[in-house]
Amino acid sequence: MKGTSATFRWSVIGLLLGVVVAALGVSVWTLADKGVAGNPGKKLDSLLDPPRDESADREKVLAAGRTFVQRFNTYGPDLLDGAGKMPDYAALGELMTAKFRTVFDKNVGYAEETVKQTQIGRKGTPYAVGVASLDDDSAELLVAGIVQFSLPATTDSEEQVQLEPLRFRYEVSLVKQHGTWLVDDLDDLDDELPSFGEASIPEGGTPGGQPSGQPSGQPSGQSSGQPSSSAGEGQ
């Protein structure tokens, strides 16, 4: 009887050892099949630290650039609060790096004052967004589109007159901070001025870096045709 019990225990132990050996075999096959080409050490590293998903970063960068440019160029009387401020427009700073937000915050007051005095509205529409360069933590985008302006037909009139749209072509610089792509600068490629982040504000003047300018209240005469294809790959 004792011999039978001993035989049974050894059979169980042998079965467990077989399971362990099989599991180790599966693990080795996984490393060989899913690891990168090269020595076993590199294969293991590739599983522990997988390569960056460039396609996912590309989509996030394109979305961040498109959203920023649209919101940057869209504001008007409907955003003014009782104090004559545009808090929803000022909240655009959340999409920027601390450095660029400092510059933007200094310029928001000019936009608010312009809207209060003229009741002008503007709406930005990006038509083409392309990646000029992209690495682990920085990117450059080219964005093309139009800004549509509107003014009251007469003083205190609710009727709006649509002015001729203005085209824009921007270079947008982004950096990745804590996993989020943030705008670090914006340059209007057609105004021959410094980028928005580098422009200074002349005393008593208007921000030197305000892209696309402001219309005088009359159609500008500038063509409102489709943005140049030089904006890069459309998205």
Domain ranges for the chain: 2-48, 54-231
Q: What is the mean pLDDT of each run of 10 residues along the chain (235 residues)?
A: 56 54 50 51 52 79 97 95 95 96 93 93 96 95 96 79 94 96 96 83 44 46 37 42
Using CB atoms within 10 Å of the CB of residue 218, give its burial: 0 to 12 exposed, 13 to 18 middle, 19+ buried. exposed
DSSP for 59-96? HHHHHHHHHHHHHHT-B-GGG--TTS--HHHHGGGGGB
Name the β-bridge partners of 168.
145
Tens digits of residue pLDDT in 188-217: 999 888 998 887 544 434 444 455 555 544
Give me the CATH topology for the region 54-231.
Answer: Nuclear Transport Factor 2; Chain: A, (3.10.450)
Sign (positive/negative) of CA torsion 78, 96, 210, 109?
A: positive
Q: Is 106:93 a contact under the CB 8 Å cutoff? A: no
- Give the C-alpha distances (Å, rounded to integers) separating 73 from 17, 40, 92, 98, 123: 68, 53, 11, 20, 6
State how far the Cα of 7 lies from the Cα of 13, in Å rounded to an integer.
10
Give residue-wise pLDDT tens across range 112-135: 999 999 999 999 999 999 999 999
